[in-house]
Amino acid sequence: MNTFFLGSRSEFYVTAASDCPYLEGRKEKKIFTFLGGDRAPEVNSLLSRRGFRRSQNIAYLPACDGCNACRAVRIVAEGFDDDRYKRVFRKNADLTRKMTPATVTTEQFSVLRGYLDARHDGGGMTDMTVLDYQQMVEQTPVDTFVLEYRNEEGKLLACALSDRLEDGLSMVYSFFEPDESKRSLGTFMIADHVRLARELGLPYVYLGYWVQGSPKMDYKRKFEPLEILGRDGWTVMRRQPPQKRK
């Protein structure tokens, strides 16, 4: 499939159907295009606003037959209530955030391996090698960085690979030391990205896809105000009241 945007020609492709990693018994397809050249950051920003996600030098969008469960979501930084996360911030007040270039270190990979072994055993990234990680981080044609979070002793506890877009930050992948679960580092890194977005004067933090019916993706709904992309554009996602027990 071919299309035109930003005054230049881009080629889009559709993947073959494969097993959906989020909803059992369903198949997934994706539309994707390659990012490259001087305008890659601009194109990445435009596609992100239209619901695409980046992986290395590819921007992709779910295009599954008969299913639209994957919906792009983003946090509105200005309306984010820091007070709701003051306990998380307090538990991690000893951490120092450092923005580093998109370059791999053995220290990062050590944390990643521990995270994958503890949290995603048997998942699609279980067999990730240092070369795979290097490609994920360094094969980028856009404005990408790694946020490192270290304790007072200088030990690396968490990392987040993120893109800087024209209108926000896009969290590509994050991981942390599994032995530090009491810190709620996953939640902390998302909330801290909102703080960073404000510091940079950016209005949004893009979280990728919320998948309706997938419990492991439902955590994204707690970060309010959350906007969801639909046919009418980006609108505020309303939190559903908790279901009553039968």
Whole-number mean pLDDT of the chain?
92
- Per residue in 7-30, pLDDT (tens digit) is 446 799 999 999 998 999 999 999
- pLDDT average, residue stretch 40-47: 97
**What band does 127 get if pLDDT is binned at 50, 70 and 90?**
confident
* Distance of alpha carbon 90 from alpha carbon 77, whole angstroms: 20
- Local confidence band at 240 (pLDDT 50, 70, 90 cut-offs): low
| pLDDT, mean of residues 49-75 | 96
Q: Find the domain containing 221 and state its range.
A: 74-236
pTM of the model: 0.91
Which of the listed residues 49, 69, 89 is the one where a domain comes to its end? 69
Average pLDDT over residues 37-49: 96
* Any domain includes 242: no
Instruction: Identify the domain boundary among 45, 69, 93.
Output: 69
Q: Are residues 189 and 96 in the same domain?
A: yes
Give the sign of the dihedral formed by CA 91, CA 94, CA 99, CA 105: negative
List beta partners, residue 101.
145
Name the token pair of 10: 């881009």
Looking at the domain assignment, is residue 49 inside a domain?
yes
Beta-ladder partners of 109: none
DSSP class per residue in the chain: -EEEETTEEEE-EEPPPEE-SSSTT-EE-EEEEE--STTHHHHHHHHHHTT-EEETTEEEEE--TT---EEEEEEETTT--GGGGHHHHHHTTT-EEEEEES---HHHHHHHHHHHHHH-TTSTTTT--HHHHHHHHH--SS-EEEEEEE-TT--EEEEEEEEE-SSEEEEEEEEE-GGGGGG-HHHHHHHHHHHHHHHTT--EEEEEEEETT-GGGGGGGGSSSEEEEETTEEEEPPPPPPPPP-
Same structural domain, 87 and 59: no
Query: Residue 93's pLDDT band (boundaries 50, 70, 90)?
Result: very high
Counting the structural domains of the chain, the total is: 2
Q: Are residues 91 and 30 in the same domain?
A: no
Is 148 inside any structural domain? Answer: yes
Assess whether 25 and 92 both reside in one domain. no
Query: Does 82 share its domain with 194?
Result: yes
Q: Reply yes or no on whether the pLDDT at 5 is more than 70.
A: no
6 in the same domain as 91? no
pLDDT confidence of residue 44? 97
In a domain, 140, yes or no: yes
